[in-house]
Amino acid sequence: MLNQLKASSLYPLLRDTYITLRDLPQLPAAYLHPWRRESIQRLAELKDKHKGQRAFIIGNGPSLKNTDLSKLKGEITFGMNRIYLMFPELGFRTTYLSVVNDLVIEQTAADLASLDLPKFICWRSRRFFQQPHSASFSLPTFLHTTYDSPRFSSDVRGRVWEGATVTYVTLQLAFHMGFSQVYLLGVDHNYETKGKPNTTITSQGDDPNHFHAAYFGKGFRWQLPDLETSEMAYRMARRAYEKAGRSLQDATIAGKLTIFEKANFNDLF
């Protein structure tokens, strides 16, 4: 019966109606809470702010260790999750930072709060920022992200589908800001740790899947990647950028992702 329903042309409508009704109690705060109103205003100011410019979205794969990131000094960059572990070595910070995974935010909230740069955090995790973490603490910009209703949002003031990866959220942010050229780096799309997607595990030692051994080091709880859903999301991003006449390329060194046109990182400078 369920399979027959899923095959019906009515299924998407019924699914979206169910999701809307389920999430209805959360909607007033997601749009009317003072923090979200402030975030929506910030996002309005960022709409097409970087029109015609280029940006680099930096993933966290081991390939970053083989990438001359010093070339990015002076470029507009998006970092994600724990990229800040690389800041001392880089000698500069990324222009923006995005983090949407609940477990990552829960375990790194104090680190994130101490970073003096524009940060984009999922609205679900606002509880970790209820109290100031320091005298200089300022609230991040909260995004109303969701696991449901796959789509690409060209305007991130409303709901934003996560696509099983913070990289997809960041691609939507970059589009919202108006960038005409976007390059991915360090999006290796390959994990040594295997298992059922989205399963929460606790690291037992050094992290082999990211640029730093302590990234998801011993004792850190994290979720195994859902590469299939991520690829579906990336295809949606590729189509959105192509339709808008914008360039989206993958400059990851020896990455496994095959969705985007490849670019040679060193040829971009």
Residue 149's pLDDT is 87
Q: Distance between CA 231 and CA 61 in Å, rounded?
A: 16
Residue 2's pLDDT is 46
Q: Other CB atoms closer than 10 Å to residue 171's CB: what's the count?
A: 27
Which amino acid makes up residue 264? N
Report the Cα–Cα distance between both ends of the chain, in Å, rounded. Answer: 57
Q: Distance between CA 178 and CA 45 in Å, rounded?
A: 12
| pLDDT tens-digit series, residues 202-215 | 999 999 999 999 99
Q: Distance between CA 196 and CA 94 in Å, rounded?
A: 32
Q: Distance between CA 178 and CA 169 in Å, rounded?
A: 15
Which amino acid makes up residue 180? S
The full set of domain ranges for the chain reads 1-25, 33-189+197-268
- Classify residue 45 as left (phi > 0), alpha (psi -120 to 50) or beta: alpha
Angle between helices 34-46 and 166-177 (to 10 degrees): 60
Whether pTM > 0.85 for this model: the answer is yes
Q: Are 195 and 261 in contact (CB under 8 A)?
A: no
Residue 26's pLDDT is 63
Residue 18's pLDDT is 43
Which regions of the chain are under pLDDT 50? 2, 5, 15, 18-19, 21
